[in-house]
């Protein structure tokens, strides 16, 4: 069982940056692939980024590639999402999630979810 708590969301202007954090409770953080998804009002939850158990492999959605970077700190049991060059269309609730095994881009393959953190990008 993994408990996930996101933080770091907020209001930022177009072109600004934010860093989201996801603190994982439990001693098995390094055995989980981690990911970020987001959900805007009236839209389905969409994949943002995923990172492998050892941090050596990442996949990004086309909409954030080159602007967002996912990293993880196994000492602090924390997942991060550095978001640069933010756009109004990045406005959403951002969720972190985990799964045992390899990385994946489908939400239904993930087991544990945080409560989400709101990111709002003003134009």
Q: Please write the tens of the pLDDT for every residue from 26-46.
A: 778 888 999 999 999 999 999
Does pLDDT of 2 surpass 90? no
> Within 10 Å of residue 35's Cβ, how many Cβ atoms?
29
State both tokens at 82.
Answer: 């550095």
- Burial class from Cβ neighbours inside 10 Å (0-12, 13-18, 19+) for residue 51 reads buried
Q: Nearest to residue 113, comparing CAs of 39, 54, 40?
A: 39
- Give percent above pLDDT 70 in the chain: 100
**Mean pLDDT, rounded, for 72-92:** 97
Check residue 87 and report its DSSP letter. Answer: -
């Amino acid at each position: 069982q993994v408990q996930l708590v996101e933080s770091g969301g907020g209001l930022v202007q177009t072109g600004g940056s934010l860093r989201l954090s996801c603190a994982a409770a439990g001693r098995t953080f390094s055995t989980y692939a981690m990911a970020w998804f987001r959900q805007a009002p009236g839209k389905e939850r969409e994949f943002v980024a995923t990172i492998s158990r050892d941090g050596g492999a990442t996949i990004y959605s086309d909409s954030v590639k080159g602007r967002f970077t996912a990293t993880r700190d196994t000492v602090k049991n924390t997942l991060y999402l550095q978001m640069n060059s933010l756009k109004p269309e990045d406005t959403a609730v951002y969720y972190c999630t985990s799964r045992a095994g390899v990385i994946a881009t489908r939400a239904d393959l993930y087991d544990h979810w945080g409560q989400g953190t709101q990111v709002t990008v003003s134009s």
